[in-house]
Amino acid sequence: MPSILKSLKLLADDTRLRLLLLLRQEELSVAELCEILGMGQSRISSHLAQLRTAQLVADRRSGKNIYYTAPPEGIAPEVGAILDATALELPEAKADQRGLSVARSKRADLSREYFNKMAGKFGRTYCPGRTWQGVSRMLFALVPPLVIADLGAGEGHLSQLLAKRARSVIAVDSSEKMVEYGTQLARENGITNMEYRLGSMENPPVEPESVDLVLLSQVLHHAPHPLRVLQAAHRILRPGGRVAVLDLLAHQCEQARELYADVWLGFTEAEMTGFLEDAGFAAVSAEIVSKDEQNPIFQTLLAFGSKA
């Protein structure tokens, strides 16, 4: 636990107060913090370094980017009380909240814009990690008939395959164009036990404890908060239900951020099992199931978890 006295001294600076108020709400990059506060990178980095030394913030490197957030063990109650009071009195607090909303919107807009452009093209365009070898390993592990929720379903090709054996399938996606295209495609293929719903992976429009299986196929690395997505999956699963996650193994291809709107550069097996366990799943497992033949040699990770 960081020193209370040292923490209080650091809080005497308005900029550090503003940073802590923001990072207690959202993990943000240095660039995003510079934009929200309207300050230069060197100034922001200097304050962040002091806060990190005092264990008031934690950092995470993802490729060339460094993200900051509140420490996993939380902030001391005394410091938290000061932050709560400051949020009401600091003149810049309201503007910072508006800036945070803009930053969140930009993240969502970037991802939505990419998937709107890709609607109708996924089946004919290369996308890292989308291999039939990996998909088949996931399908063989399933036991039909089930009520299935496919979160981040895209055009719904996987959902339609599963609908042939499942009791029913709920395909959820945040892209209006994807939902429109997938609904039309299912109608054309005569699939009647599949329903498309517009919504986010963090808060899917699915009733709690109403499905037997949740699928997350090559979508978790697009999520700003993977743990929240898995917690949502846990929430909509019936007791005894399972989650299946097919995603990219951790890699160093920075271009994936611009080419495919990736937020995370894949996950290690340890990270994936950690997310699943933190979301409340038991009987967690993760393994590498395929490897691309062309550069940059993406590998596919398959993970499972059960709701007790």
126 and 86, same structural domain? Answer: no
Residue 79's φ and ψ, nearest 5 degrees, are -70, -40
Q: Which residues contact 171 (CB under 8 A, 6 or more apart)?
A: 150, 153, 156, 159, 179, 182, 194, 195, 196, 197
166 with 205, same domain: the answer is: yes
- Checking if the pLDDT of 88 tops 80, the result is no
Q: Are residues 142 and 266 in the same domain?
A: yes
Tell me what pLDDT residue 125 has: 63
In tens, the pLDDT along 45-55 reads 999 999 999 88
Q: Do 144 and 166 touch, CB atoms closer than 8 A?
A: yes
Among 74-78, 196-200, 238-242, 272-276, which is the least confidently predicted range? 74-78
The amino acid at 286:
A
Of 74, 108, 142, which closes a domain? 108
Let me know if residue 116 belongs to a domain. Answer: no
- On whether both 102 and 127 belong to a single domain, the answer is no
Among 62, 79, 108, which residue terminates a domain?
108
pLDDT reported for residue 120: 77
CATH number at residue 39: 1.10.10.10
Same domain, 96 and 152: no
> Cα separations (Å) of 128 from 120, 125, 136, 291, 297?
17, 10, 16, 10, 9
Residue-level pLDDT at 280: 98
The total number of structural domains that make up the chain: 2
- Which range marks the domain in which residue 183 is found? 122-306
- Given a cut of 60, whether residue 2 has pLDDT beyond it is no
CA–CA gap between residue 201 and residue 150 (Å, rounded):
10
Spatial distance between the Cα atoms of 119 and 174, rounded to a whole number of angstroms: 12
Q: Is the pTM of this model over 0.75?
A: no
The pLDDT tens digits for 144-192 are 789 999 999 999 988 988 888 889 999 999 999 999 999 999 999 999 9
